[in-house]
Amino acid sequence: MKIDYTEYSPNQRIAIIAASELVGYKSCFVGIGIPSDAACLAKLSVEPELNLIYESGAIGALPLSKSYSTGSPSIAHGADMITDSLSVFSDLQAGRIDVGLLSAAQIDKFGNLNSTVIGDYDEPKIRMVGSGGAHDIACLIPNLIVLMPHDPRRFVDTVDFATSPGSGRDIKKIRDQLNLPEGPSILITDKAKFIMSDEGWLLHSILDSFTFAQATEGLPWSLKPPISGPIETDPAIISALAQINY
Amino acid sequence: MKIDYTEYSPNQRIAIIAASELVGYKSCFVGIGIPSDAACLAKLSVEPELNLIYESGAIGALPLSKSYSTGSPSIAHGADMITDSLSVFSDLQAGRIDVGLLSAAQIDKFGNLNSTVIGDYDEPKIRMVGSGGAHDIACLIPNLIVLMPHDPRRFVDTVDFATSPGSGRDIKKIRDQLNLPEGPSILITDKAKFIMSDEGWLLHSILDSFTFAQATEGLPWSLKPPISGPIETDPAIISALAQINY
Amino acid sequence: MIDKTSTVQDAIKNNVNAGDNIFIGGFGHLIPFYLSHELIRQKILDLTICRSGADILFDQLIASEIVKKVIFGYVGNPTVGLSHSFSRAYKKKSIEIEEWTNQSIIMRLHAARMGVSFIPSKILQIGDKPSNISHLKQVTCPYTDHKFSAIPALKPDIALIHAQCADKYGNIQMWGIDGDTVEGALASDKIIVSVEKIISNSKIKEAPEKTVIPSHRVSNIIELPWGAYPSYVSGFYSRDDDHYIEYDTTSRDEDKLSSYLKNWVHDARNIQEYKKLIGSTKIKELEEGLCGVKNED
Amino acid sequence: MIDKTSTVQDAIKNNVNAGDNIFIGGFGHLIPFYLSHELIRQKILDLTICRSGADILFDQLIASEIVKKVIFGYVGNPTVGLSHSFSRAYKKKSIEIEEWTNQSIIMRLHAARMGVSFIPSKILQIGDKPSNISHLKQVTCPYTDHKFSAIPALKPDIALIHAQCADKYGNIQMWGIDGDTVEGALASDKIIVSVEKIISNSKIKEAPEKTVIPSHRVSNIIELPWGAYPSYVSGFYSRDDDHYIEYDTTSRDEDKLSSYLKNWVHDARNIQEYKKLIGSTKIKELEEGLCGVKNED
């Protein structure tokens, strides 16, 4: 089925691509926003087994209306289980949660994510919200998918502050020494999918309806042509989109 | 009020004396048997503020019928709160529980308690139940009262196995170094009350109706006359006795 | 048993001292707005405030200049944006911060709650560490030789939390999303709790599994219905998302924020005044809104 | 979602291997007798069994010669007396033991459940240490220089537990006394659960606070009403104290114990047979007896 992706908003496109990546997983650590939307979309379509886990302690919910906080009523409503945050982070640290989705204000070539400061830590231009659970997820989750709107200002060579550690050759070596999982392996924008390599992000594939130039426009990394053909989307994901009230 | 203590069973007498010792405490770590009976008796009479805490996680119960296990229905029934054992032991380790009551198969001069083996550890004459929570309570509770029926076979110079560590000069020195509380400070039998000193147990006082000879008969420690007059019992404790279904 | 019910004024006056380290409960759900506002009304100074994920209540306490230090994993207005008062104070250096992550704050509280001075963790060994926690130490497992960060215990002087119900003795019942509220309370030396409703002890005993803090740990109980507004209380009322959204605009502007604080904090001398500010239309809307699991009674 | 309901035979056959380390749930309450008896019926050998405080179910497993090692804090028949099969096997050296305390077993499970290889504790630094844990290591807090024992993680291969309810997907609901049941289950790699009653997922969602284990952690669910007898299930039936008392006499004598095991374990090929053995008089008595907090439905 030929899909015209330009009919969907950038955030919807990210959720569509991300949903495909969640096939085969049973439990997903999600935050509010695009991560939550992507996980809901997957559960409604290609991966009904997926249990959504929020750091607030809610497990098994499928929030279809706008939620502002990971502790919002819409997250509690419809949950199969409500436990505490310690329990969820314990599961995370014990390797009991399969996959995580993260976003951030800045991302760099090695998948380091910044949600702390723009500028210098002690004299910042913008002081942001801090890690929340992002650092913890980036350190601990066995499979990490990063979701970023294609906004060139947010893509940098080196993040101002590495709130959530990345991957690639050097960081992976330290991760190995510390018995930590390998870190971010997939980056999804609203136009393309990237995969992590020893040298940093590699362009993996581009969403149908977009060109190589569009998919890489303004990104600071030297990008080779995609290593794979266009991203195919299961039509079930597109059909499920209507159920999510963005 | 003159009380004829010989009208009461040895276990009842222990509970009566122990109840007096619980005045002023708000929370008490109790096990099943005489400890539980003594704490109930205190709560029914001289210390209504006392919250009984069982290692099974039940808090605030007042079991008036025979309970076999710390997890028995009678312990859950009437509890104000049921949490888990980790939570109770965490409170214990954090110094958040005021007082504990323990019993054991053997006790020695320095308040070491044995509930593990009679004889050698690897080749025992009798293999008993092990520590349960007894070691943990003896290490951690700020105020520890030991309850022992006056059975000379159970009073020894040195226990065969120190399941639950005692006190006295040498052990207290190690306890200080480890930031542990001082260990058992009071021993109650069915005839007398002892207090811990640097040199081990000191006879503190004797229950009315009993003589010095009776209170010390068969005990292996060289015992001086009591340092205080006879134990006085608040008549409210005696009145409350009828409510406990032994 | 002692009756621990109190007025909000007495509970704060008798238990909180200038300079205290205060854990503030509520993780999206059950945020103790009205109870914590009393710190502002009584102008108790030099406070350290701590929790994992903090929202606009922290912003209000910081804006009121009673906070000396913030220990946190996240401070913001979830989905809506930044905590502007926090950002301003940080840039002006009028507050100290100690910046962790949500998991590490929770593990710090858990260490204190378990009575140990640290617990090992796999986090905070890679990535940039804020300068204020760059002294974080490592510890080696004596069995596996693996390296862990040593997460130091955080034992607040006092916890302020909001819950659904309590009896007058201080047995606290809570359901729905907890986050780190109970862990933080149990880690603290003293605990003050505002509740939607004071119920009988026999009602407590009917559902002892709902009790999350036992009476002997609690210093005072205050009945403050709607005390968690604009956050929510499962079984009672929903979250006022609009209030949070408008607060973003308000808090960008220091003058607007001053009048917000005068209105919602300083002049709201009792919980009835606070309810009046919310307004009956909004109250009806939030009572009928989605609010997690209803009270089963 | 996957339907995880199973027969007790398949659940054990497909998930338990000879030599496994098995956590067995139940702390006075909710002891998984019938489910664990299946280990005996299938004669799965060389097992390690672990929990904090264990009662006569451990005695039965040991008597059945399928246990190689016992990791425990307590093994006995609470108030009634000793675990005679345990004592005999220990003296004959036909089992290995690893003897801890209740708190240390729970902290060992908690370390595994938190994903770290040890946690510090103040216990097990004084008093006699059993020869099998005399290698226990110390750790020094890098902040305070205080010494702690390093409690090593205990991560069982599988947990067998009993609970009140579950849906067919494996969301487990439990209330009443837990002890270390949930902690031990969550520490384990696999979890098998027998329940009094399988309920709908929508019923689960009505009270998500009662859910203690989420579906994705559970391998199989088996509906086994009365499966926790002679222990009890809050809201369903009371504890048969007499059975425990009589078991003391039975288990002192190896022949008597053999016929007990034939009767109550080997010949009880399904849960209906087990119920028949309990008998309708006793069932009525225990259903009417004190049994903690009733099911609220």
User: Average of pLDDT values for A166-190?
Assistant: 97
Rounded Cα distance between D181 and D192, Å, is 12
CA D236 to chain centre: 19
Angle subtended by helix axes D56-63 and D254-261, to nearest 10: 100
Rounded Cα distance between A246 and A243, Å, is 9
Per-residue CA distances from A223 to A13, A109, A166, A205, B48 (Å) = 21, 11, 18, 12, 75
CB contact under 8 A, B81 and C217: no
* Token code pair at residue A159: 């993040």
D167 contact residues in A (CB cutoff 8 A):
80
Helix (H/G/I), strand (E/B), else coil: D189: coil
Which secondary structure element, helix H or strand E, spans residue C191, and what is its range? Answer: strand C190-198
Q: Residues B91, C202: contact at Cβ < 8 Å?
A: no
Which secondary structure element, helix H or strand E, spans residue D157, and what is its range? Answer: none
* Token code pair at residue B218: 């068969």
Residue type present at position B201: W
Task: Kindly tell me if the per-residue pLDDT of C297 is higher than 60.
Answer: no
Q: Percent of chain D, pLDDT > 70? A: 98
D207 contact residues in C (CB cutoff 8 A):
293, 296
The dihedral over CA atoms of C210, C214, C219, C220, expressed in degrees to the nearest 10, equals 30
Mean pLDDT taken over chain A? 95
Q: Maximum CA pair distance of chain D?
A: 62
Burial of D213 (0-12, 13-18, 19+ CB in 10 A): buried
Q: What is the C-alpha radius of gyration for chain B, rounded to an integer number of angstroms?
A: 17
Per-residue CA distances from C64 to C57, C260, C265 (Å) = 11, 11, 10
Q: Name chain C's partners: 3 or more CB pairs within 8 A.
A: A, B, D
| Angle (CA) A11 A17 A19, round 5° | 100
Task: Kindly tell me if the per-residue pLDDT of B3 is higher than 90.
Answer: no
Rounded Cα distance between A138 and A102, Å, is 8
Per-residue CA distances from C105 to A103, A166, C110, C157, C179 (Å) = 21, 22, 9, 16, 12
CB contact under 8 A, C138 and D139: no
Mean pLDDT taken over chain D? 96
Task: Kindly tell me if the per-residue pLDDT of C296 is higher than 50.
Answer: no
* Token code pair at residue A90: 């314990």
D147 contact residues in B (CB cutoff 8 A):
177-178
Nearest to D118 among C141, C175, C207 (CB): C141
Helix (H/G/I), strand (E/B), else coil: B64: coil
C112 contact residues in A (CB cutoff 8 A):
none
CA A90 to chain centre: 21
CB contact under 8 A, B48 and C1: yes
Rounded Cα distance between D262 and C91, Å, is 76
Chain A nearest-CA distance from D90, in A, is 34
Q: Residues C77, C55: contact at Cβ < 8 Å?
A: yes
Complete DSSP assignment for D30-99:
S--HHHHHHHHHTT--SEEEEEEEE-HHHHHHHHTT-EEEEEEEEEEETTTEE-HHHHHHHHHT-SEEEE
Rounded Cα distance between A45 and A39, Å, is 10
Rounded Cα distance between D128 and D10, Å, is 44
DSSP annotation of D22:
E
Rounded Cα distance between B110 and D59, Å, is 33
Confidence category of residue D259, pLDDT binned at 50, 70, 90: very high
CB contact under 8 A, D209 and A48: no
Predicted confidence at residue B232, as pLDDT, reads 86
Per-residue CA distances from C288 to A79, C64, C235, C238, C284 (Å) = 19, 33, 10, 8, 6
CB contact under 8 A, B26 and C1: no
Residues D96-140: pLDDT tens digits? 999 999 999 999 999 999 999 999 999 999 999 888 898 899 999
Task: Kindly tell me if the per-residue pLDDT of D296 is higher than 80.
Answer: no
Residues B68-126: pLDDT tens digits? 999 999 999 899 999 999 999 999 999 999 999 999 999 999 999 999 999 999 999 99
Q: Is some CB atom of chain D closer than 8 A to the CB atom of C3?
A: no
* Token code pair at residue A225: 């042509």
Mean pLDDT taken over chain B? 95
Helix (H/G/I), strand (E/B), else coil: B171: helix
Query: Does ipTM top 0.85?
Result: yes
Domain borders along chain C are: 8-107+154-233, 119-152
* Residues in D lying within 8 Å of A, measured between beta carbons: 1-2, 112-116, 167, 171, 186, 201, 204-205, 208-209, 211-217
Rounded Cα distance between C198 and B130, Å, is 43
Q: CB neighbours (10 Å) of residue C79?
A: 17
Among A176-190, A209-223, B24-38, B232-246, whose mean pLDDT is lowest? B232-246
D295 contact residues in B (CB cutoff 8 A):
none
CB contact under 8 A, C113 and B92: no
Give every CB contact of residue C267 below 8 A, 6+ residues apart in sequence: C273
Q: Residues B24, B245: contact at Cβ < 8 Å?
A: no
Query: What residue in C sits closest to A180 (Cα-Cα)?
Result: C122
Torsion sign, CA atoms A67, A72, A75, A78: negative
Per DSSP bridges, beta strands C138-140 and B99-102 are: unpaired
Give the strands of the sheet with C118-121, arranged side by side: C118-121, C147-152, C138-140
Q: Residues A23, A43: contact at Cβ < 8 Å?
A: no
Superfamily of domain D8-107+154-233: Glutaconate Coenzyme A-transferase (3.40.1080.10)
pTM of the model: 0.98
Rounded Cα distance between C135 and C149, Å, is 11
Rounded Cα distance between B52 and B40, Å, is 8
Enumerate domains of chain A plus CATH numbers: 5-244 (3.40.1080.10)
Taking alpha carbons only, the member of A47, A52, A49 closest to residue A62 is A52
Rounded Cα distance between D36 and D50, Å, is 13
Rounded Cα distance between D297 and D287, Å, is 16
Buried b (16+ CB within 10 A) or exposed e, D97-124: bebbbbbbbbbbbbbbbbbbbbbbbbbb
Task: Kindly tell me if the per-residue pLDDT of C56 is higher than 90.
Answer: yes
Confidence category of residue C289, pLDDT binned at 50, 70, 90: confident
Predicted confidence at residue A232, as pLDDT, reads 86
CB contact under 8 A, A93 and D208: no
Taking alpha carbons only, the member of C175, C191, C131, C120 closest to residue C153 is C120
Rounded Cα distance between A77 and A64, Å, is 11
CB contact under 8 A, D175 and C206: no
| Angle (CA) D274 D280 D283, round 5° | 75
Task: Kindly tell me if the per-residue pLDDT of C29 is higher than 70.
Answer: yes
Task: Kindly tell me if the per-residue pLDDT of D291 is higher than 80.
Answer: no
Rounded Cα distance between D254 and A158, Å, is 73
Per DSSP bridges, beta strands C21-24 and C67-77 are: unpaired
Confidence category of residue A245, pLDDT binned at 50, 70, 90: low
Rounded Cα distance between D297 and D292, Å, is 15
Task: Kindly tell me if the per-residue pLDDT of C281 is higher than 70.
Answer: yes
Rounded Cα distance between D185 and D228, Å, is 16
Q: Name chain D's partners: 3 or more CB pairs within 8 A.
A: A, B, C
Chain B nearest-CA distance from C10, in A, is 22
Q: Is some CB atom of chain C closer than 8 A to the CB atom of D147?
A: no
Helix (H/G/I), strand (E/B), else coil: A186: strand
Is there a catalytic annotation at residue A55? yes
User: Average of pLDDT values for C138-148?
Assistant: 97
- What are the φ/ψ torsions at residue C236 (nearest 5 degrees)? -125, -60
Q: CB neighbours (10 Å) of residue B47?
A: 20
Residues A39-79: pLDDT tens digits? 999 999 999 999 999 999 999 999 988 899 999 999 998 99
